[in-house]
Amino acid sequence: MKQEKDFKNYLSRVAKQMILIHDANLLSKLIIRTVTRSLSVKHAGLFLYNKTNQEYIIEVSRGKKGLKIPVGFTKIRNTNPIINFFLNQNLSINNREYLLLSQIKKIKEENKFNKEFIELLIDLENELSLYRAELIVPGFFRKDLMVVFFIGGKIENQDFTDDDIEFLTVLASDVVMAIQNAKLFEDIKQQLDVNKQLLLNTVETLATAIDIKNAYTHGHAERVMKYSMALVKYIPHNLIADLKVFEDSLKISALLHDIGKIGIPEDILNKPTRLSDDEIDLVRKHPAMGAEILEPISEFQVATLGVKFHHEKYDGSGYPYGLVGEDIPLIATIISVADAYDAMLGDRPYRKGIDKDKVIREIELNKNKQFNPAVVDAFLEAVSKNEI
């Protein structure tokens, strides 16, 4: 009774471990170790089904008593006699729930069957001897044969018991479950990647639509994004909780930082002369208007902060909120430097673009004034590494 309970506990522990493993190779190794240890067999191995390539990958135990796979036998197909036995409805021994070498030998010796059947048995026997297997147990998912265990003899040479076979049958169904789980995990991950790419394409299209409104700044959003992404690599890591998430938001935020300009007439944006006070007021509303556009999208929460505060200045003299120092979200301070850098480099209706060295000096001079000092340091480092 106690032994039976241990066996079930052991299986449930292994199943829990398996469900966390999403790599087929690692999963195979864990299972083989489980089988060899728990059944005290000389060696164990398995065929694991790869549905995409419609083939089975073979994994065997290593070590002193381990089996070496013959060269060229790392993959097999449906035509393999063992696979064929479990998939072929016309052949039945033990309801095709398992195969024992000793039984195959016995049936062959009884010689009650037709020549064709005996030939199939001989093929099976040869195949089993190739893997030095004495017991084979399959695991199915619906009609797909997902896994086949092949087990060598016991170290003490005892026969396999019904409990051993049941243990392997339950383990096989756990393996099938783990494989299905891993596949699902992979599918979801791929779907997320597709969605992310789709979102980024949409954001890029939107950024281009904003750029086109402004005759003097073509490609500005794309460049601000590139400078921001180069710069963020040199921001001290203790300032960012999750770099991957932050970078994703920064990319979107930098591309959309001027999305609020969508509500400002083109003749004001492209005016070659000085703007009137009313016009200046209107232009200065674009960070807040941009934030208003993005706020309903909960996935853009951090990105929205970059849009909303990219014209704030470290010394508090920025607009529209006049935030000071560390109150300005980091994402906005990065876009602020990247934005100013690109704006100074480019031609404007009222002036020519400024020389790159001069622009860099100007940014350095504005450390602690217009810009967050940590961001200016990161900018200078990215410049020195030729990444900006």
What residue is closest to Fe ion based on CB? 258
Task: Compute the least distance from the CB of residue 310 to Fe ion, in Å.
Answer: 6
Residue closer to Fe ion (CB basis): 99 or 337: 337
Nearest distance from residue 340's CB to Fe ion, in Å?
Answer: 10
Of 59 and 258, nearer to Fe ion (C-beta) is: 258
In the bound state with Fe ion, the residue whose beta carbon lies nearer, of 66 and 320, is 320
Structural element, H or E, at residue 59 = strand 55-60
Instruction: List CB contacts of 313: < 8 A, sequence separation 6 or more.
Output: 336, 369, 370, 371
Smallest distance from Fe ion to CB 245, Å? 24
Q: Of 211 and 258, which CB lies nearer to Fe ion in the complex structure? A: 258
What CA–CA distance (Å, rounded) separates 261 from 287?
A: 8
Name the minimum Å distance from CB 57 to Fe ion: 54
Residue 61: C-alpha distances to residues 34, 41, 43, 67, 81 (Å): 10, 10, 6, 6, 22
288 by Cβ neighbours in 10 Å (0-12 / 13-18 / 19+) ranks as middle
Residue 24: CB minimum distance to Fe ion, A: 49
Q: Measure the CA–CA gap between 365 and 386, rounded to whole angstroms.
A: 20
The footprint of Fe ion (CB under 5 A) covers 258
Nearest alpha carbon to residue 214 among 270, 275, 264: 270
Rg over CA atoms, the chain: 34
Q: Closer to Fe ion at the Cβ: 55 or 258?
A: 258
Which residue, 258 or 342, is less far from Fe ion as judged by CB? 258
Q: In sequence order, what are the residues at sequence separation of 6 or more whose Cβ sits closer than 8 angstroms to the Cβ of residue 113?
A: 107, 121
- Cα–Cα distances in angstroms (integers) from residue 316 to residues 214, 277, 307, 319, 327, in the given order: 28, 21, 17, 8, 10
**To the nearest whole angstrom, how small is the minimum distance from the Cβ of residue 314 to Fe ion?**
16
